[in-house]
């Protein structure tokens, strides 16, 4: 698992702010956004008026003012507890946002003018495409891309990681984040976002909850809760004439209490807090989610597409062996392999030079007039051009074979065996040729990241398919895929192959997630339902994705998917618990309302509650206090365990469905035993 930022559930400052926030949220204009709790607040206002004027809606009886005030007080507490839950979730986000805002405070920028001069201005005055110069020890004023220079950048203020990251112009590691610090040398940066639109600004806004929009699932659940509320309102309105016909006079306060107890107030009070807490958990993994929908969609992911290098394997493939083929000697293979890698700054290229020089005992110098040939996704080879038309190439086996065939050469008979042997060992075979002659194979070793096999097994247990993308040949890809435990793989993968794979899965109705960091990954990130871009990657990749990993750890997608699953499980579990609660409240209140005139109703009083007033107030009190009791669970989330959807549903029904029925029976009975003496003393 990736390192997660640990914080206390609630601090003294958050507690104070949340209590104040709970009262501020009583504004009806705010409460109407949560229809379930708005009904409860409306009930509070009506019962409060009945406390002062008991016969406001008819002959209620002047002796019931105490009962009306009591019901009113419990309803107010219920609303405050629901508001408190939301305020706590927001408070945790705001506390995190404050630490992020410290990196923005009083930032300045050295902007470069067209005439070459520079000027110090406030970072707030920067615009997109401005050019700034940032020197050692200075803060990078806004998101941008390095266009000149190379320097180490301290990103600990954003990511929490103390190890500096090298940034330089060109490639997939030119992107820098506002608020980070240049630790050495200098960088010339082109600003890529306007003030207030940087990734840090977005992160602050999201963790504060200010820009959190309700997700589709949340909207659907809210619609269900509103529908249930309307149904119960109709039922209660219909109940009053039935009661009058039966000779039972029901007080308005009792009818309101029945409505509040039967509508899903528990999940209604916690729904917003659950959504905010889900965003909070993602940001504590140093991932910026562009919306709550992105986090929620993670919970519905069916297929994950992952790059092999850097995600499944460590990526720093190291040269382990030189295998000559045909008539070439090992000495000849080593010499030209080293020459072809002298200007290759990749870890693989450096390891070839290091191993070759250690085996030969000689240091290879650059040859005058040599020219580099860069690797491309189309040619899948690189190399060196020497004077006198001497060309050295190294690359994928099929690419080199095609290259030498076009030159009219014959493929050594033992090449295929050597390539297959390296691939069988899980390595990457790199074939080297001099002009039209294939000299041999370089065995590059790649290691699967520790613990990934177990995590892929966890994903398989919950029905998520994993697909590995790699530029390796099919045999190498199959070996790595089997060792890692992924379900499928795409060998010799090009950027367009990723898009094709995503579309193929989506055509089957599946939700697809993937990671990427390069400009060539941007189309696939945009096509995927969940795209996570690396913070070290290009601006194009980050703009195309709907999440950005500040730690630039490609395996973070596994954590984010589990967080999304946990969010959905938490919402479903607490909804089940809330609705199951109504069963116990039904057995508490309905018998209490009618058993005075219908003795047969006594059989439903299975909790043996003392009096009708005790039964109603006990159910109301339980309905109120269950909300703060469940706040820690809503914030932390229901424990996630990899299992099939059927097993998960069965488990949650047993724990939260059955538990939601049993807990209120016990809780209401205990409250009844406590308040009965008090009600007797008050004459109720």
Burial per residue of 21-36, b for 16 or more beta-carbon CB atoms within 10 angstroms, e otherwise = bbeebeeeeebeebbb
* 381 among annotated binding-site residues: yes
Contact between residue 92 and residue 60 where contact means Cβ atoms under 8 Å apart: no
Taking every pair of Cα atoms in the chain, the longest distance, rounded to a whole number of angstroms, is: 112
> What are the helix and strand counts (H, E) for the chain?
23, 22
Q: Is 521 annotated as a binding residue?
A: yes
Name the active-site residue from 154, 307, 553, 559.
307
Q: Which of 97, 176, 181 has its CA nearest to residue 138? A: 181
Nearest to 448 by CA among 553, 333, 311, 343: 311
202 is in an annotated binding site: no
**382 labeled binding residue:** yes
Residues 6+ apart with CB under 8 A from 192: 128, 142, 143, 144, 145, 539
Helix (H, G, I), strand (E, B) or coil at 621: helix
At 110 the three-state DSSP class reads strand
Helix (H, G, I), strand (E, B), or coil: what is residue 78?
helix
Rounded CA separation 398/387 (Å) = 26
Q: Are 137 and 193 in contact (CB under 8 A)?
A: no
CA-angle at 103, arms to 98 and 105, nearest 5°: 85
375: annotated binding-site residue?
Answer: yes
Query: Residues 224, 229, 233, CA angle at the centre, nearest 5°?
Result: 150
Two structure tokens written together for 113: 């003018």
Does the annotation list 394 as a binding residue?
yes
Counting Cα atoms < 13 Å in the Cβ hemisphere of 21 gives 19
307 noted as active-site residue: yes
Residue 643 in marked binding region: no
Backbone angles phi, psi at 346, to 5 degrees: -75, 160
Q: Is 460 annotated as a binding residue?
A: no
- Judge whether 376 is annotated as a binding position: yes
User: What are the residue numbers of the active site?
Assistant: 307
Which positions make up the binding site for Mg(2+)? 517, 521
Binding residues: 344, 348, 375-382, 394, 517, 521
Annotated binding site for ATP: 344, 348, 375-382, 394
């Amino acid at each position: 698992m990736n390192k997660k930022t640990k914080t206390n559930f609630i601090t003294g400052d958050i507690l104070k702010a949340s209590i104040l926030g709970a009262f501020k949220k009583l504004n009806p204009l705010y409460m109407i956004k949560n229809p379930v709790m708005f009904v409860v607040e409306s009930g509070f206002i009506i019962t409060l008026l009945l406390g002062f004027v008991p016969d406001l809606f008819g002959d209620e009886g002047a002796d019931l003012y105490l009962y009306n005030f009591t019901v009113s007080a419990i309803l107010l507490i219920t609303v405050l507890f629901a508001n408190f839950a939301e305020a706590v979730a927001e408070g945790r986000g705001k506390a995190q946002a404050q630490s992020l805002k410290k990196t923005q405070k009083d930032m300045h920028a050295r902007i470069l003018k067209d005439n070459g001069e520079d000027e110090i201005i406030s970072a707030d005055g920067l615009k997109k495409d401005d050019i700034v110069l940032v020197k050692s020890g200075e803060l990078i004023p806004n998101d941008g891309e390095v266009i000149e220079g190379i320097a180490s950048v301290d990103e600990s203020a954003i990511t929490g990681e103390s190890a500096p990251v090298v940034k330089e112009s060109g490639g997939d590691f030119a992107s820098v984040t506002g608020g980070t610090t240049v630790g050495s040398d200098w960088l010339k940066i082109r600003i890529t976002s306007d003030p207030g639109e940087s990734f840090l600004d977005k992160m602050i806004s999201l963790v504060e909850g200010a820009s959190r929009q309700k997700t589709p699932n949340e909207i659907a659940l809210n619609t269900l809760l509103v529908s249930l509320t309307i149904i119960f309102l109709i039922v209660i309105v219909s109940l009053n004439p039935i009661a009058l016909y039966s000779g039972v006079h029901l007080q308005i306060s009792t009818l309101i209490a029945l409505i509040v107890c039967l509508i899903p107030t528990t999940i209604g009070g916690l729904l917003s807090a659950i959504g905010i807490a889900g965003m909070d958990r993602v940001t504590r993994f140093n991932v910026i989610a562009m919306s709550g929908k992105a986090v929620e969609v993670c919970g519905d992911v069916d297929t994950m597409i992952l790059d092999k290098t850097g995600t499944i394997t460590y990526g720093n493939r190291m040269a382990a062996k030189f295998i000559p083929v045909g008539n070439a000697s090992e000495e000849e293979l080593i010499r030209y392999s080293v020459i072809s890698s002298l200007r290759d700054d990749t870890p693989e290229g450096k390891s070839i030079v290091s191993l070759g020089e250690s085996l030969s005992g000689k240091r290879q110098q650059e040859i005058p007039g040599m020219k580099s040939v860069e690797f491309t996704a189309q040619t899948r080879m690189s190399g060196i051009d020497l004077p006198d038309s001497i060309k050295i190439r190294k690359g994928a086996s099929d690419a080199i074979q095609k290259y030498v065939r076009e030159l009219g050469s014959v493929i050594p008979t033992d090449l295929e065996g050597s390539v297959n042997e390296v691939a069988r060992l899980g390595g990457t075979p790199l074939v080297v040729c001099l002009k039209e002659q294939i000299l041999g194979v370089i065995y590059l070793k790649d290691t699967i990241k520790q613990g990934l096999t177990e995590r892929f097994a966890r994903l398989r247990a919950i029905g998520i398919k994993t697909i590995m993308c790699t530029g390796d040949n099919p045999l190498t890809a199959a070996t790595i895929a089997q060792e890692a435990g992924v379900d499928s793989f795409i060998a010799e993968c090009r950027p367009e192959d990723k898009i094709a794979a995503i579309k193929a899965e989506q055509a089957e109705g599946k939700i697809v997630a993937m990671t990427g960091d390069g400009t060539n990954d941007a189309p696939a990130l945009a096509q995927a339902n969940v795209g996570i871009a690396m913070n070290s990657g290009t601006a194009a990749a980050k703009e195309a994705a709907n999440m950005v990993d500040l730690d630039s750890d490609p395996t973070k997608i596994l954590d984010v998917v589990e967080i999304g699953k946990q969010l959905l499980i938490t919402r479903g579990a607490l909804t089940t618990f809330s609705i199951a609660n109504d069963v116990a409240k039904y057995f508490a209140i309905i018998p209490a309302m009618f058993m005075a005139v219908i003795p047969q109703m006594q059989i439903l009083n299975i909790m043996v509650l003392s009096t009708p007033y005790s039964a109603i107030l006990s159910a109301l009190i339980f309905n109120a206090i269950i909300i703060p009791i469940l706040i820690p669970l809503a914030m932390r989330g229901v424990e996630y365990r990899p299992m099939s959807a059927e097993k998960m549903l069965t488990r949650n029904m047993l724990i939260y469905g059955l538990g939601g029925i049993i807990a209120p029976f016990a809780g209401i009975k205990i409250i009844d035993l406590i308040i009965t003496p008090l009600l007797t003393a008050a004459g109720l």
